[in-house]
Amino acid sequence: MIQDVIIGIAGAGGDGVISAGESLITAAALEGYHGMMTKSFGSQIRGGEASCRVRLSTHPVLNPNGPLDVAVALNWEDFRRFGAELPVESSTMVVYESRTGVAADQLPLEGVRPGVVFSVPIAEMAQQNAGTEKAKNIVIIGLLAGWFGIGRESMLAGIRKKFARKGAEVVEGNARAFQAGLDFAEAHPLKEDRKLGAPHNRSAKMLTDGNDICAAAAIFAGCTFFGGYPITPSTEIMQFLDREIWKYGGAVLQAEDEIAGVGAVVGASFAGKKAMTATSGPGMSLKTEMLGLASIAELPLVCINVQRGGPSTGIPTKAEQSDLFQAAFSAHGDCLRPVLAPVSVGDTFGITVEAFNLAEQYQTPVIVLSDQEIAQRKETVEPIDTSRFGLVERRRPTDAELVNYTRFKVTESGISPISQPGVPGGNYLASGIEHNEAGGPTANGETHARMNEKRFRKFNSLKNRRDLFAVEGEPDAPIGLVSWGSVSGVAKEALRLAQAEGLHVKLLVPKLLYPVVETVYQDFFASVRRGLFIEQSFQGQLYRLVRMYADVPARVRPLAKSGSNPIQPTEVLERLREMVASLQATHQHAEAIEG
C-alpha cells in the first residue's frame, strides 16, 4: 500500500495523453484523493509531442515534481523529448507500447535500468475492443486503475458520460477498452503491492486549473469588463469569461491585438468599471505603454501575466518565472505598480481578488504573475469559502468634493477621489501627460515632483501588508529559503523533508513581490547565516530585486534554473544538508580558535 504516486505519460499529439491524465485525476478527485496534473506540449501549432504528469496522494500535494513512480511511453522518441520533465529512476515502473519493437532490457533510457517493465500491446488492445486506436488512452487508464486501484467505477462512469453523445456502440467499445486494461493488469500483477491507500477524507474535491479559477475570482471580485487577445498560456481566462461574465452583466472584447485589448480596459476603468486583461510575456511587452497611461492617470485595472519561457516568443508551452523584472520595471519614468503572485491553483482565487482590491484601493494597475504550470495544471481544491473575502471599491467623490472637483488632489494618503463620465460635476481630463491637481497639462518641474511624490506615497500603507507573506519553520533558524509562485511548492516540500531530518530551516514565501517590503525581509534574515532563493529563472530575478532594497546575507545565494528544467525537492534538500555541514564546520573552527 502506498500513499503517493507520480505518473508520467508521453506520446504524440492526438494519442489522448492529456485526456488520459484528466480521466485519472478526475476519478481520484471524486473519490477524495488530493492531486495535481501538469501537461506539456511541444511548441508546434499542430502535432508534435505531448505529455502529462499526474500526482495523486492521500494527503495534500504541494508540487508535481520528483522522479516518476510510473512512466507510460506510447513511443520512445516523444517520451525522450521531455527529458528532465519526466525523470525515470531504477525504482520507476515503465509501461510502453509493444509495437515500438524495443526489448524490455534495451529501453532507450540512458544510465537507468528500471526494475519493473511491462511491454503492452496498447494500440492492438484499443483496436480489438473499441474498433479504433484512438482508444489507446482508455486502455492506459484501465491499466493504471488495475495496478493502482484508482477509481475504477468513477473512471468507467466518466467514460460513459464522455462518449454518451457518440452513441451506445462507441460507449461500449471504450468500456471494453477500459476493461481490457484492467484485465491485463490482473493477468500481470505487480510483485509488490502498489495500491494507493484510502484518502484521509473521502469527500469529493473540486478540480480546476489556475486560468479558470482566476476568471471565476475576477467575476466574484466584481469585474465586468475584459479586454484582451489570445496568447498561450493565458487564453483560457478569456474563454472562461466569454462563456460566463455576461451572466453577471459583464462583457468581453477580443481585440485586434494586445495593445487594443489593454487600451479598452483602460477606457472601461475610466468609465467606472472593474476591468481586467490577461496575457503572457510577449503581450506584456506590447501592453507596457498603456499600463504607463493607467499609472499616471491613476486608473484601476488588473493585468494577469501567465509567464512562459522567454525572451521574445521563447517557449510558449513551458513555465518560467522570468517576467518579474518586466512587471516591476517595464515603464519609463518613475512608476510603481504592485506585483502579486499566487503559489498554487487554489491560491489564485484569493490573489486575483486581492489584485482587484489593491487596484481599486490605490487606483493603479496591478500585475499578477501566474505561470504556465499554475495556469494550466489541474489541481484538487477544497471548496472556497467566499465569505472570508472582502471586496474594495474605488474612493468616489462626495457631493461636497464634486464642487470644483479636483481629480488629482494631493491628499494625506496620496489617494484622490475618482469620478467617472456622467457624474454631474465630475468630469475631468485623464491623459498620459503630466498634470496638475485638476488634471490640466503641465511641464512645471515642481508640479511634476509633487505628483510623482503623490503617486508613490499612496503605496506606503501597502508595505504594512504582512499578510501577503507566509513564513514557515523555526523563527530563529540559521538557514533560510525564499521562493515564490509555483516553485514555492517545491520549497515547501523541501522544508518538510529537512524538518523530518532535524534540520533547522525556515521558509519565506512572498505573494507581494513589488514593492519590496524591506522590513519583512530584514526580519526574516535576522537569524539567517546560509540560504537559498529558489526560482525558475536564469538570473534569479527575485534574489536580485530584493538585494536592491534589503540587506541579504552574503551566504544566501540563488538556486535558479531556466524554464523547462524542473527544480526538485530532493535537490533543495541536498543543498540544505551542505549548508548544515558548512555551518557545523564553521562553528567547530571558531571553537578551535577560541580554545
Are 371 and 36 in contact by the 8 Å Cβ rule? The answer is no
CA distances for 278 relative to 51, 354, 568, angstroms: 25, 16, 29
Instruction: Kindly list the domain boundaries of the chain, sorted by start residue.
Output: 4-187, 210-388, 395-464, 466-592
Are 34 and 57 in contact by the 8 Å Cβ rule? The answer is yes
Count CA within 13 A, CB hemisphere, residue 251.
8
pLDDT digits (tens, 9 = 90+) for 482-514: 999 999 999 999 999 999 999 999 999 999 999
CA 79 – CA 138 distance, rounded (Å): 19
CA distances for 61 relative to 4, 67, 188, angstroms: 9, 15, 30
pLDDT digits (tens, 9 = 90+) for 236-257: 999 999 999 999 999 999 999 9
Asked if 4-187 and 210-388 have one fold, the answer is no
pLDDT, residue 573, reads 97
With cut-offs at 50, 70 and 90, classify the pLDDT of residue 370: very high
pLDDT, residue 592, reads 59
CA 452 – CA 459 distance, rounded (Å): 12
pLDDT digits (tens, 9 = 90+) for 177-231: 999 999 999 999 998 888 899 888 888 889 999 999 999 999 999 999 999 999 9
Closest CA to 82 of 317, 306, 313: 317
pLDDT digits (tens, 9 = 90+) for 385-415: 999 999 999 999 999 999 999 999 999 999 9
pLDDT digits (tens, 9 = 90+) for 139-152: 999 999 999 988 78
Closest CA to 226 of 195, 255, 193, 256: 255
pLDDT digits (tens, 9 = 90+) for 118-132: 999 999 999 999 999
With cut-offs at 50, 70 and 90, classify the pLDDT of residue 371: very high
CATH number for the domain running over 210-388: 3.40.50.970
With cut-offs at 50, 70 and 90, classify the pLDDT of residue 69: very high
CA 277 – CA 292 distance, rounded (Å): 15
With cut-offs at 50, 70 and 90, classify the pLDDT of residue 326: very high
pLDDT digits (tens, 9 = 90+) for 79-120: 998 888 899 999 999 999 999 999 988 999 988 889 899 999
CATH class as words, domain 466-592: alpha beta
CA 82 – CA 76 distance, rounded (Å): 10
Are 120 and 73 in contact by the 8 Å Cβ rule? The answer is no
Q: What is the DSSP letter of 32?
A: T
Q: Residue 595 above 60 pLDDT?
A: no
pLDDT, residue 155, reads 86
Q: Is the dihedral of CA 40, 42, 43, 48 positive or negative?
A: negative
- What's the whole-number average pLDDT of the chain? 94
pLDDT, residue 338, reads 98
CA 14 – CA 137 distance, rounded (Å): 10
pLDDT digits (tens, 9 = 90+) for 438-459: 999 999 999 999 999 999 999 9
pLDDT, residue 356, reads 98
CA 590 – CA 470 distance, rounded (Å): 34
With cut-offs at 50, 70 and 90, classify the pLDDT of residue 46: low
Strand, helix or coil for residue 547: helix
Q: Please identify which residue in the block is written with the cell numbers 538557514.
A: 479
On whether the pTM is more than 0.75, the answer is yes
CA 121 – CA 101 distance, rounded (Å): 11
Q: Residue 428 above 70 pLDDT?
A: yes
pLDDT, residue 47, reads 63
Q: Is the dihedral of CA 119, 122, 123, 125 positive or negative?
A: positive
pLDDT, residue 43, reads 66
Q: Are strands 378-381 and 34-41 parallel, antiparallel or unpaired?
A: antiparallel
With cut-offs at 50, 70 and 90, classify the pLDDT of residue 568: very high
Cis amide prior to 121 (ω within 30 degrees): no
The share of the chain scoring above pLDDT 90, in percent, equals 82
- Length of the chain counted residue by residue: 595
Q: Residue 36 above 60 pLDDT?
A: yes
Instruction: Tell me the mean pLDDT in the region 37-58.
Output: 83
With cut-offs at 50, 70 and 90, classify the pLDDT of residue 161: confident
pLDDT, residue 83, reads 82
pLDDT digits (tens, 9 = 90+) for 217-236: 999 999 999 999 999 999 99
Instruction: Tell me the mean pLDDT in the region 329-349.
Output: 96
Q: Residue 64 above 80 pLDDT?
A: yes
pLDDT, residue 194, reads 86
CA 73 – CA 175 distance, rounded (Å): 22
With cut-offs at 50, 70 and 90, classify the pLDDT of residue 590: low
Q: Please identify which residue in the block is written with the cell numbers 484528466.
A: 22
Closest CA to 150 of 15, 6, 38, 345: 6
Q: What cell numbers appear for 220 in the block? A: 466574484
CA 142 – CA 126 distance, rounded (Å): 11
CATH fold group of domain 4-187: Pyruvate-ferredoxin Oxidoreductase; domain 3 (3.40.920)
Q: Are strands 505-510 and 469-473 parallel, antiparallel or unpaired?
A: antiparallel
Q: Residue 11 above 80 pLDDT?
A: yes
Instruction: Tell me the mean pLDDT in the region 325-354.
Output: 96
pLDDT, residue 561, reads 96
Phi first, then psi, for residue 293 (nearest 5°) are -60, -45
